[in-house]
């Protein structure tokens, strides 16, 4: 049984729902059809990013402007015009990269603002008829893993090269986000006083490390990860090329910088294919949350472990296995 962590701070003001509304409006544009069951085609010239940022600054905070402008730059760098096809492709690629559903929705919100800005500034171009019908975008939630699947997942991860192997093995045992795992410094590891004690990882948001989250937290790692981390630190880490270059990162790439998140996401896809499952980095967080819930952790404790700000978000991560529900139902007295 896990010991409960202190209650998470819930005094923060939750972000407004406006970006969700814009995201839904964008999806309607992407998936809308006319009376002849043909796709509605949005086609307009590209506005400048600087002008777009100036437009956003009129009603968005500095951090929101920065986040939305990054999405806009990426989109505009790879497209000649804002069309339904280009939007569908961008959103589909974002979902396929294993981004969290909330992040995909934020990307949609940014594109929704971009569309509105282009219309206001008169960048519209006459619509064009496109056939055949464009594919629908499906942004699915990350699937979780059962206890047995977590065991198989761990075994398959041992076939991967380092440091991806260790990263994937500790993620379901810690609930770390992929950005947090890839951006760990050696100094972030808090070593246990006993050889078989539990590791603690200090997670601190830092824009240079692209870590999501707005507050510092300490993540307690499952006991099964203790020998994995010890073996990595004493045997694997000193042999990595990044270590020999004096890298401060716990999981360094050959260049000396942190390992690229894309490599970790691709490894999840590879392992998932071997298991006959669709897995992405967020699957490990769902599996970790479900495991803690089945072990009796409170929602407040799981919330702090995962770094969530709202209990509603944490509840969306928790799913109870059939065996666990059977055991609970067997104990119900009428």
Question: Following CA atoms 50, 52, 53, 56 in sequence, which dihedral angle do they give, to the nearest 10 degrees?
Answer: 160
Cα-based distances in Å from 79 to 24, 47, 58, 108, 176: 22, 12, 26, 16, 33
Q: Which residues contact 173 (CB under 8 A, 6 or more apart)?
A: 221, 222, 224, 225, 228, 288
Radius of gyration, alpha carbons of the chain: 22
Q: Whose CA is closest to 280, among 294, 266, 296?
A: 266
Coil, strand or helix at 5: coil
Spatial strand order of the sheet with 189-190 comes to 189-190, 200-203, 217-220
Give the whole-angstrom CA distance, residue 301 versus residue 307.
Answer: 10
Inter-residue contact 104 to 139 (CB < 8 Å): yes
Is 29's pLDDT higher than 60?
A: no
Quote the pLDDT of residue 189: 93
Question: What pLDDT is attached to residue 316?
Answer: 82
Q: What is the mean pLDDT of the chain?
A: 76
Residue 201 phi/psi, 5-degree rounding, is -115, 125
pLDDT tens by residue, 44-68: 666 777 888 888 887 777 888 888 8
HEC string for 160-194 = CCCCHHHHHHHHHHHCCCHHHHHCCEHHHEECCCC
Phi, psi of 288 (to 5 degrees): -65, -45
Q: Which of 93-97, 138-142, 179-183, 310-314 has the lowest mean pLDDT?
A: 138-142
pTM for this entry: 0.61
Longest dimension (CA), the chain: 70
Q: What is the pLDDT of residues 263-312, one digit of tens each?
A: 898 999 899 889 888 888 888 999 999 999 888 899 999 999 999 888 88
Give dist(CA 175, CA 142) in Å, integer.
14
Q: What is the pLDDT of residue 3?
A: 34
Using pLDDT thresholds of 50, 70 and 90, give the confidence band for residue 165.
Answer: very high
pLDDT in tens, 212-247: 566 688 999 999 999 999 999 999 998 887 677 778
Rounded to 10 degrees, what is the CA torsion of 114, 209, 204, 56? -20
* Residue 15: per-residue pLDDT: 37
Token reading at 330: 């067997």
């Amino acid at each position: 049984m896990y010991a409960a962590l202190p209650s998470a701070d819930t005094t923060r003001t939750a972000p407004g729902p406006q970006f969700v509304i814009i995201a839904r409006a964008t999806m309607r544009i992407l998936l809308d059809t006319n009376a002849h069951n043909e796709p509605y085609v949005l086609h307009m010239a590209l506005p400048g990013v600087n002008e777009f940022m100036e437009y956003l600054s009129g009603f968005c905070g500095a951090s929101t402007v920065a986040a939305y402008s990054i999405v806009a730059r990426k989109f505009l760098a790879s497209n000649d015009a804002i069309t339904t096809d280009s939007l569908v492709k961008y959103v589909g690629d974002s979902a396929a990269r294993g981004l969290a559903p909330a992040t995909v929705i934020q990307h949609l919100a940014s594109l929704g603002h971009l569309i509105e800005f282009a219309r206001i500034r008169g960048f519209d171009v006459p619509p064009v008829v496109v056939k055949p019908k464009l594919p629908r975008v499906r942004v699915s939630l990350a699937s979780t893993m059962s206890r047995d699947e977590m065991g198989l997942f761990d075994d398959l991860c041992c076939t991967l090269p380092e440091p991806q192997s260790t990263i994937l093995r500790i993620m379901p045992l810690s609930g770390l986000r992929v950005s947090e795992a890839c951006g760990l410094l050696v100094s972030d590891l808090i070593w246990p006083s006993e050889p078989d004690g539990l590791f603690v990882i200090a997670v601190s948001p830092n824009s240079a490390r692209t870590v999501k989250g707005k507050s510092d937290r300490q993540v307690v790692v499952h006991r099964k990860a203790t020998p994995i981390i010890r073996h990595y630190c004493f045997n694997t880490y000193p042999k990595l090329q990044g270590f020999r270059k004096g890298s401060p990162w716990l999981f360094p790439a050959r260049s000396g910088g942190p390992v690229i998140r894309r490599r970790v996401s691709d490894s999840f896809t590879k392992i998932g294919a071997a298991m006959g499952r669709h897995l992405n980095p967020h699957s490990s967080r769902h599996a970790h949350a479900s495991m803690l819930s089945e072990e009796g952790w409170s929602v407040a404790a799981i919330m702090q472990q995962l770094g969530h700000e709202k209990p509603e978000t944490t509840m969306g991560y928790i799913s109870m296995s059939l065996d666990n529900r059977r055991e609970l139902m067997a104990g119900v007295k009428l």
